[in-house]
Amino acid sequence: MATHILRRQVSQILSHASPNSNPTSYFSLARPFSSATDTIRATLFPGDGIGPEIAESVKQVFRTAEVPIEWEEHYVGDQVDPRTQSFLTWESLESVRRNRVGLKGPMATPIGKGHRSLNLTLRKELNLYANVRPCYSLPGYKTRYDDVNLITIRENTEGEYSGLEHQVVRGVVESLKIITRQASLRVAEYAFHYAKTHGRERVSAIHKANIMQKTDGLFLKCCREVAEKYPEITYEEVVIDNCCMMLVKNPALFDVLVMPNLYGDIISDLCAGLIGGLGLTPSCNIGEGGIALAEAVHGSAPDIAGKNMANPTALLLSSVSMLRHLNLHDKADRIQEAILSTIAEGKYRTADLGGTSTTTDFTKAICDHL
Amino acid sequence: MATTRRSLFLLRNLIAGKTQTRTVTYMPRPGDGAPRPVTLIPGDGIGPLVTNAVEQVMEAMHAPVYFEKYDVHGDMKRVPQEVLDSIKKNKVCLKGGLRTPMGGGVSSLNMQLRKELDLYASLVNCCNLPGLPTRHEMVDIVVIRENTEGEYSGLEHEVVPGVVESLKVITKFCSERIAKYAFEYAYLNNRKKVTAVHKANIMKLADGLFLESCREVATKYPSIKYNEIIVDNCCMQLVSKPEQFDVMVTPNLYGNLVANTAAGIAGGTGVMPGGNVGAEYAVFEQGASAGNVGKEKIVEQRTANPVALLLSSAMMLRHLQFPSFADRLESAVKRVISEGQYRTKDLGGQSSTQEVVDAVIAKLD
């Protein structure tokens, strides 16, 4: 039965491969968005809990910075849409597909059966294959690590999270980890392309190929193939236990990290912990055809919802990475500078960073810094 | 039954590696002073250097152990039968790192050894050493990792060209015995909390089975607190607030990552002792697996850090029921580290392996 499910998955992957096998499909995004005068439509999912407040912050900052983006807001419905089998409506997904960029706030997963989880729906429907998390130490917010400046790129569709498990006999469970050439090539291509466009010098592939020789071996082979096409970028391979140890001792050793699903999950959260937690970490999901969905990875914090206490930094930094994807680099740099200098100054900080400001004060301080 | 329980008590207590001031004098059985044989596998890379360090220190202490050396290298296909026979006879082994070739089709010799001898628990004792500056204070974590199954089953195959599958196997039997070991360890070593590390929100059946076994065992130890944490949250917490963890029990792969992360925050893998233990045999080696073999530069310049293997050999001495030798060795090593004069490169110093060994021998009283 496992092979039957696997064959179905393989045919799905191969059918997705044909229309989008051209890896330069995301380069085509550069042309229509290079002129700063056209307004770009982007989908905004404010989310639940503190979502609407921080989305409002983002809109205000963008207005002050005169970023040419027009938001299309969509909310999570309260009924299961039969076309998507989840609470996200078909219209929302179509809007993201049309606009090619989106920003998503924290969404609380409703409990219950009969529907897919929201993140899973987005991932499968939009075919989001890479999760990019830039982690850099925020000057002014002191953690034990001050020199972190790395990007983790994680393969988002297969690997250990395929969800194919079964009980062989009572008391013995098997779980399948699947690595395909096509998905590994895709994410490796994106990683090197990202490194090149953002001026990064080194890409490290993280693996455990000494134990899982065929699976991680295939991942490494694909990375090596792509590395040959980019001779100016240094490529190295690091075993994951070495990587963990080096990250906690000296995070400055790493630049861009590319890895399969499970290791990526753990390492990207570890790096988020190094810089101060999920409340400050931006994240961006890249899909086939150049779709980018930036999101805030923290939870919806229902206990502080509506109290004007939330920290909008994660969503703001995610929107900055969205702007970079759209090649609006000067606007992105200005907004990032403003955020970093506001936090560095230390006068306006929200409660989770140890200060007493409200969300609106913090946002206003950022706007003043622009 | 009572005597086996008491000797098990001593055994487990002493595997913990905790130096305790004894108010009760140790009454040895007759004939206990006879030298005990221990299998020694120098290994690859920095292995021979650091095992040589242990041999020198044992000689200087006149410890009642003698080593039977066997040459095993990482590129051999199987562990030689004579080595396995020797370990089965001696029941205790001390080993340096064995290099595992990448993607070469040869299965790891470390894994083979563990499967053959059924060493199902791997222990890494990560605690701050006094005098060694680290970014995190108050780290005192013991990571107990299931050592035989999980993601490291080695069952992989290519379904069609370009698609590879790897099986992760979790059984109730193995999960139960590692959970039992973890709780027994916590109970016998006066530890207050056991944390199970998992990813059961995604791998519901596999890690779900592991968690079920842990919960069942937890009900039998009401005095020990038990909680569960998802592995990515766990790594984040380890980096920001490590003092909340005490004993952690994990399946195979997560245990590898968590142990190396915990070793890294507590001072580096060059100083953390550890070992693999089964129902009948025990193999002591450097605790965390990263840097086990080391780089060529370290081998050439002979600047490998022997502290981890020295502390593991102290654990081995306790396992062999020579607690006073273990205490002497441990206090000498800790004194050398806290003084800070002789430290190898990974701890921020300039000394070579030999200088550290000489300093330890000088501090033995």
pLDDT at residue A111, rounded to an integer: 64
Given A228, A253, A275, which residue is the final one in a domain?
A275
A217 and A160, same structural domain?
yes
Contact B166 A215 (CB under 8 A): yes
Given B208, B237, B266, which residue is the final one in a domain?
B266
pLDDT at residue A90, rounded to an integer: 82
In a domain, B301, yes or no: yes
pLDDT at A15 over 70: no
B51 and B77, same structural domain?
yes
pLDDT band at A354 (very low <50, low <70, confident <90, very high): confident
Q: Is B252 on the interface with A (CB under 8 A)?
A: no
A347 and A238, same structural domain?
no
pLDDT at residue A1, rounded to an integer: 52
B240 and B345, same structural domain?
no
> So what's the ipTM on this one?
0.84
Find chain B residues with C-beta within 8 A of A267's C-beta. Answer: 235
B311 and B233, same structural domain?
no
Q: What is the mean pLDDT of residues A84-100?
A: 82
B97 and B49, same structural domain?
yes
Min Cα distance A67 → chain B (Å) is 34
Give which of B235, B241, B271 to mutate to test A binding, by max A Cβ within 10 Å: B235
A94 and A81, same structural domain?
yes
Find chain B residues with C-beta within 8 A of A163's C-beta. Answer: 202
In a domain, A238, yes or no: yes
A286 and A168, same structural domain?
no
pLDDT at residue A34, rounded to an integer: 45
In a domain, B5, yes or no: no
The beta-carbon neighbor of A174 closest among B161, B167, B261 is B167
CATH number at residue A342: 3.40.718.10
Q: What is the mean pLDDT of residues A341-350?
A: 83
Q: Is B138 on the interface with A (CB under 8 A)?
A: no
> Between residues A368 and A354, which one has the greater pLDDT?
A368
In a domain, A1, yes or no: no
B160 and B52, same structural domain?
no
Min Cα distance B100 → chain A (Å) is 6
A192 and A234, same structural domain?
yes
CATH number at residue B95: 3.40.718.10
A153 and A126, same structural domain?
no
Q: Is A273 on the interface with B (CB under 8 A)?
A: yes
In a domain, B8, yes or no: no
Mean pLDDT in chain A? Answer: 83
pLDDT at residue B79, rounded to an integer: 86
Find chain B residues with C-beta within 8 A of A273's C-beta. Answer: 235-240
A319 and A257, same structural domain?
no
Find chain A residues with C-beta within 8 A of B347's C-beta. Answer: none
pLDDT at A66 over 50: yes
In a domain, B25, yes or no: no
In a domain, B96, yes or no: yes
The beta-carbon neighbor of A249 closest among B204, B235, B264 is B264
Three-state SS string over chain A comes to CHHHHHHHHHHHHHHHHCCCCCHHHHHHHHHHHCCCCCCEEEEEECCCCCHHHHHHHHHHHHHHHCCCEEEEECCCCCCCECCCCECCCHHHHHHHHHHCEEEECCCCCCCCCCCCCHHHHHHHHHCEEEEEEEEECCCCCCCCCCCCEEEEEEECCCEHHHCCEEEEECCEEEEEEEEEHHHHHHHHHHHHHHHHHCCCCEEEEEECCCCCHHHHHHHHHHHHHHHHCCCCCEEEEEEHHHHHHHHHHCHHHCCEEEECHHHHHHHHHHHHHHHCCHHHCEEEEEECCCCEEEEECCCCCHHHCCCCCCCCHHHHHHHHHHHHHCCCHHHHHHHHHHHHHHHHHCCCCCHHHCCCCCHHHHHHHHHHHC
A233 and A216, same structural domain?
yes
In a domain, A260, yes or no: yes
pLDDT at residue A298, rounded to an integer: 83
Q: Is A352 on the interface with B (CB under 8 A)?
A: no
In a domain, A32, yes or no: no
B139 and B110, same structural domain?
no
Given B213, B231, B266, which residue is the final one in a domain?
B266
pLDDT at residue A24, rounded to an integer: 41
The beta-carbon neighbor of A266 closest among B168, B235, B240 is B235
pLDDT at residue A37, rounded to an integer: 59
The beta-carbon neighbor of B269 closest among A239, A245, A262 is A245
What pTM does this model have?
0.84
Domain encompassing residue A93: 39-134+277-369
Closest chain B CA to residue A215:
B164
Find chain A residues with C-beta within 8 A of B206's C-beta. Answer: 165, 173-175
Domain encompassing residue B175: 135-266
pLDDT at residue B21, rounded to an integer: 62
| The total number of structural domains that make up chain B | 2
Q: What percent of chain B has pLDDT over 90?
A: 44
Min Cα distance A32 → chain B (Å) is 35
Given B210, B238, B266, which residue is the final one in a domain?
B266
> Between residues B78 and A257, which one has the greater pLDDT?
A257
Those of residues 247-266 in A touching chain B at CB distance below 8 A are 247-249, 262, 265-266
Q: What is the mean pLDDT of residues A51-74?
A: 88
Given A225, A256, A275, which residue is the final one in a domain?
A275
A172 and A108, same structural domain?
no
pLDDT at residue A17, rounded to an integer: 44
Given A275, A305, A329, which residue is the final one in a domain?
A275
In a domain, A56, yes or no: yes
In a domain, A168, yes or no: yes
pLDDT at residue A300, rounded to an integer: 77
Min Cα distance B86 → chain A (Å) is 26
Local confidence pLDDT in tens for the 365 residues of chain B: 555 566 665 566 556 555 556 566 777 777 777 888 999 999 888 888 889 999 999 999 998 999 999 988 877 888 899 999 999 999 999 988 888 776 555 567 888 888 889 999 999 999 888 888 888 888 999 999 998 888 887 788 999 999 999 998 999 999 999 999 999 999 999 999 999 999 888 888 889 999 999 999 999 999 999 999 999 889 999 998 899 999 999 998 899 899 999 998 988 888 889 889 999 999 998 877 766 677 777 788 888 889 999 999 999 998 888 888 999 999 999 999 988 888 888 888 888 889 999 999 998 87
pLDDT at residue B45, rounded to an integer: 85
Of A59-68, A243-252, B21-30, B219-228, the least confident: B21-30
A241 and A308, same structural domain?
no
The beta-carbon neighbor of A211 closest among B152, B163, B209 is B152
B283 and B195, same structural domain?
no
Query: How many Cβ contacts (< 8 angstroms) between chains A and B?
Result: 187
B229 and B171, same structural domain?
yes
A81 and A151, same structural domain?
no
Find chain A residues with C-beta within 8 A of B164's C-beta. Answer: 178-180, 214-215, 217-218
The beta-carbon neighbor of A213 closest among B156, B169, B253 is B156
Those of residues 224-243 in A touching chain B at CB distance below 8 A are 239-242
Q: What is the mean pLDDT of residues A227-234?
A: 93
In a domain, B130, yes or no: no
Q: Is A113 on the interface with B (CB under 8 A)?
A: no
Contact A274 B239 (CB under 8 A): yes
A290 and A261, same structural domain?
no
Per-residue pLDDT reduced to its tens digit, A93-145: 888 888 889 998 888 766 666 666 777 778 878 889 999 999 988 887 888 88
| The total number of structural domains that make up chain A | 2
In a domain, A327, yes or no: yes
In a domain, A129, yes or no: yes
